[in-house]
Copies of this chain bind each other. A is one copy, B any other.
Amino acid sequence: MSVLVQEAPFSVDQQQSLLLASTGGAGLVTFTGYLRDFSAQGAIEALELEHYPGMTERVLEELGAAAVNRFALRGWRIVHRYGRIEQQDPIVWVGVFADHRHEAFAGCQFIMDTLKTKAPFWKKEFMRDGRVIWVQAKLEDTEREHAWQEGVYE
């Protein structure tokens, strides 16, 4: 079980310890995504993340398994929150162990790039000025995900 989808805040330290306890390797790459305080729309107060329970976990499990096959990973862990996220809170954490650093970097980036467009999460931004805005999917994210599919980064 290397996927954790939860509403409560999580500790990055604790997640890294859990990954370390379950696996090893020469290189560990982690990504932590935090709530931005600014978007193209203005200053952000908070975020609400909706997800599709069940499908989310399955997509993330499959994504981790795909990364293991593709980049010869030794271990991985994905943590993603849903619900209301406050400023400075981590939203997502991905940790990836491999025998070589290049594989660890590629594996972690592949998971993040693919998660963005394949995991059923939807973000709603609560702006400082009171507006509430559903975040639009970025063309750039779709292009990155396609580039991985086509093996552009290898």
Contact = CB atoms under 8 A, between A and B. Distances in A.
A26 interface: yes
Nearest to A30: B30
Interface stretch (A31-39, A55-63, A122-130): A31-39
Given A36-B99, A112-B101, A27 B31 contact: yes
A33 B29 contact: no
Interface stretch (A2-10, A75-83, A102-110): A102-110
Interface string A19-50: 00000111111111111100000000000000
Contact of A101 (B12, B28, B31): B31
A9 to B, nearest CB: 14
A98 to B, nearest CB: 11
Interface of A: 12-13, 16-17, 24-36, 88, 99, 101-102, 104-105, 108-109, 112, 144
